[in-house]
């Protein structure tokens, strides 16, 4: 039985569908701080959960006799910069509760880190798996502290913690909220609705990105990997591609020739993006658990436009 927090979030909502397909609907307990009238809530067990409430989390894990906890609830980078103290309490409070519950109930534990765990002094090209991490955002500080805490719970208490440093994730089911890489998602919605997009990041801002289906497969593959082969645990660099706004706009133009993009740079999110790598090295994930991707910019763009057309136009 797998308990998932943040099940109504950008990753969570699709992770629930993926896990229920892989392991059966009743094996996946979706939890979130609010409810909704959608497949996540109606397609299998759902519980309201505020991850800052340890007792509530404990009770749900006990009620379902869970053996795995996937902790997805967090405030993303731009949102976290608006409310850094709230971000610390939610991002770190939720993680500590999750790790404690995993320790007490001997759960396998997954939580994502991010390319946001790197900072301005980190090498920006082919960022290594093991390198300097001095992020300058509250979100990045949460992610580095989270990586260290997850490794501590593995080495000190034997909790089977595993994680990946996700790049920007592009998806069409649940729009992201408060992320810096969200431009790469918003651009598709705007292209279909109005044929144009105003980017809040400037031309030439390279960041790693990945299409959501590849991200979900990476989580399943890592959690099912042979632990004897894992040299690293929290958290593996994973990426599918690296691009800058002009490149994704050009790819969209191949399908929507009248699409136009202009710029209105948001200094806060530009500063966050500038502090992150341009492209990271995922060789450790490939070597230790066979990480692979099946979508590049061209196939992602084609699929996003096709799938979004049906959801937006319906």
- By DSSP bridging, strand 168-170 and strand 161-162 are unpaired
Verify cis geometry, omega within 30 degrees of 0, for the bond prior to 222: no
Please state the φ and ψ torsions of residue 183, each to the nearest 5 degrees: -60, -30
Q: Which of 111, 171, 174, 181 binds ligand VAH (CB under 6 A)?
A: 181
How many Cβ atoms are within 10 Å of 123's Cβ, its own excluded? 14
The tokens describing 178, both together, are 């408060």
Rounded Cα distance between 6 and 31, Å, is 6
* CB 217, min distance to ligand VAH, A: 18
> Which stretch, 20-28, 89-97, 108-116, 285-293, contacts ligand VAH (CB under 6 A)?
108-116
Q: Which of 168, 187, 252, 305 binds ligand VAH (CB under 6 A)?
A: 168
H-run or E-run covering 313:
helix 297-313
Q: Which of 29, 76, 138, 215 binds ligand VAH (CB under 6 A)?
A: 76
Please state the φ and ψ torsions of residue 185, each to the nearest 5 degrees: -100, -50
Which of 114, 293 has the CB closer to ligand VAH? 114
3-state DSSP helix/strand/coil percent for the chain, to nearest 5?
Answer: 50, 15, 35
Q: Which of 51, 115, 150, 261 binds ligand VAH (CB under 6 A)?
A: 115
Which of 43, 128 has the CB closer to ligand VAH? 128
Residues constituting the chain: 314
Rounded Cα distance between 141 and 77, Å, is 10
- By DSSP bridging, strand 241-243 and strand 207-211 are antiparallel
Q: Which of 17, 77, 142, 279 binds ligand VAH (CB under 6 A)?
A: 77
Count of residues engaged in binding ligand VAH, rule: CB under 6 A? 13
Q: Which of 44, 167, 245, 277 binds ligand VAH (CB under 6 A)?
A: 167
Which of 86, 231 has the CB closer to ligand VAH? 86
From 23, 64, 139, 153, active-site residue:
139
Which of 10, 31 has the CB closer to ligand VAH? 10
The yes or no reply on residue 179 touching ligand VAH (CB under 6 A) is yes
Q: Reply yes or no on whether 139 is catalytic.
A: yes
H-run or E-run covering 164:
strand 164-166
Which of 98, 146 has the CB closer to ligand VAH? 146
Residues that bind ligand VAH (CB under 6 A): 76-77, 114-116, 139, 166-168, 176, 179-181
Q: Residues with catalytic annotation?
A: 139
């Amino acid at each position: 039985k797998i308990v998932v927090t943040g099940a109504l979030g950008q990753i969570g909502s699709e992770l629930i569908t993926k896990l229920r397909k892989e392991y059966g609907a009743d094996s996946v307990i979706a939890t979130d701080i609010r409810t909704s009238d959608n497949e996540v809530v109606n397609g299998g067990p759902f519980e309201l959960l505020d991850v800052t409430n340890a007792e509530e989390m404990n009770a749900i894990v006990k009620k379902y006799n869970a053996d795995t906890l996937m902790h997805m609830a967090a405030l993303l980078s731009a949102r976290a910069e608006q409310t850094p103290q709230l971000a610390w309490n939610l991002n770190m409070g939720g993680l500590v509760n999750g790790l404690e519950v995993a320790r007490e109930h001997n759960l396998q534990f997954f939580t994502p880190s991010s390319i946001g765990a790197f900072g301005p002094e980190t090498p920006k090209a082919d960022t290594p798996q093991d390198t300097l991490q001095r992020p300058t955002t509250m979100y990045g500080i949460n992610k580095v502290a989270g990586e260290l805490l997850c490794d501590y719970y593995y080495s000190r208490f034997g909790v089977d913690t595993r994680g990946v440093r996700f790049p920007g994730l592009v998806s069409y089911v649940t729009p992201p909220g408060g992320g810096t890489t969200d431009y790469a998602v918003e651009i598709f919605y705007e292209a279909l609705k109005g044929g144009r997009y105003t980017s809040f990041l400037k031309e030439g801002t390279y960041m790693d990105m990945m299409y959501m289906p590849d991200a979900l497969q990476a989580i399943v593959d890592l959690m099912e990997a042979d632990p004897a082969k894992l040299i690293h645990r929290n958290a593996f660099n994973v990426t599918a591609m690296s691009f800058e706004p002009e490149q994704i706009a050009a790819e969209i133009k191949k399908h929507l020739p009248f699409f136009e993009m202009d710029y209105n740079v948001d200094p806060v999110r530009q500063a966050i993006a500038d502090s992150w790598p341009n492209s990271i090295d995922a060789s450790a994930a490939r070597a230790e658990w066979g990480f692979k991707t099946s979508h590049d910019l061209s196939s992602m763009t084609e699929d996003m436009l096709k799938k979004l057309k049906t959801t937006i136009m319906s």
